[in-house]
Structures are given as C-alpha cells and as structure tokens.
Amino acid sequence: MTARSSQSGAMGSSLTLTLANIFIYVDDIFMTWNKSEEELRKLLDYVNTWHPNIKLDYKIAEPYLTPFISHHPQHVFINIIQTSLARAARYSSAFEAFNYEQSYIKLMLPYNGYPSTLIENEFHRYLSDYISASPVLPLIDNEKKFFQRRKKLLGQPTPRQSQVALGAATADIDNDQVDDETKQPNESPTKLDTTTIAN
C-alpha cells in the first residue's frame, strides 16, 4: 500500500527534513528599515503571498525606551541614561553629531517620564571631567573635550569584551585535554612485552 500526499513528504527522506526546516521553522526576525513604513508593510504582505503554508506575522515598533513609571529598580534608569550617553560618544565621529545626540537624549527622556533632576545629575556625572562651566552651553562645549572623552571611552572595553576577557582569564588550562600529538607514550611494559613465546 502506498500513500500519496501533496502537503507532506516521506518520513526519513533528506528532502523532507530540508523542507521541514524551511516550512516549520518558527522564530523571531529582527530587522531595521530605512524606507517608509508603508513600503515595509507592502514588502511583508508580498512575502506572505509566496506560499500558502508560510505566514509571516509582523509587528512594527517605534524606537523604545523603558518608561520611568515601569517597576524597575532605580539603577536600571540610571544605566539607561549612562548607556545612551556612552553610545552617543562612541558612535558620534564628529562633535556636532554628539551634541545632536545629547539633545535628542535630553528630549527623549522626559517624554518617557524621566525626572529632569535625574537626567541632569546623570549627564553631569557622566561628563564630569569635561563639563562646561556655563549652564547655557552644552555640557561638553568644545571639540577637544569631546575627543578626549571619546578617546577615553573607546579605550575602555565594552561589556561584551569584558565578558569574553573574564571567560578567558578564568579558563581552567590545567584541566584541558592534551592533544594526541603531545601525549607521552606509556613506558610501562605490557603483558605482550613480558611474555616469551617458544616455538
């Protein structure tokens, strides 16, 4: 008896396994898009017409920041401000771009409920070595100070780099397996070596 199916394949077939990986794979896709939201929706709707058994659900999100009213510990909100400033300094190759990012961060945080005192305190704490004395000017008021801060920041490892370095530093080298090439031969005599064969 044989079975015929147009929507499935034979169990154990290498082709069936490949097709299952294509059609049954469920996961999240993260992507960024530089064109309009309407063009993105058109593209995603078009992708959903490729095959009746493939369905791509999508959720288009706006840039997001944890609102201050959420139930997170205080250090989370402080880290958000500090990390935003670190990213601005790390990824801004020009002083003007850094000032623009600082302004954007200062506008974005109150919009998400962050108190102005917390914002100002964290800006001052982050930029303490480079702060302008004038309350009207930007916190870092000249290009030389910006590049000093950026150089200092770029010299520091990222959290991921620190994690990798810590893993390497704490590796148990003495417990690692010895390669076959460096293994010493067994010097103790075997039973065959001590047996005399007479003919």
* High-pLDDT (> 90) share of the chain, %: 7
Indicate if 86 and 136 belong to the same structural domain.
yes
Decide if 149 contacts 105 (C-beta within 8 A). no
Decide if 150 contacts 90 (C-beta within 8 A). yes
Q: Is the pTM of this model over 0.75?
A: no
Indicate if 107 and 148 belong to the same structural domain.
yes
Decide if 81 contacts 109 (C-beta within 8 A). yes
Range of the domain at 144: 74-154
Confidence class of residue 186 from pLDDT cuts 50, 70 and 90?
A: low
Residues sharing a CB contact under 8 Å with residue 98, sequence separation 6 or more, in sequence order: 88, 89, 92, 140, 146, 150
- Considering 18-22, 24-28, 117-121, the range whose residues carry the highest mean pLDDT is 117-121
Asked if residue 197 is part of any domain, the answer here is: no
Indicate if 18 and 80 belong to the same structural domain.
no
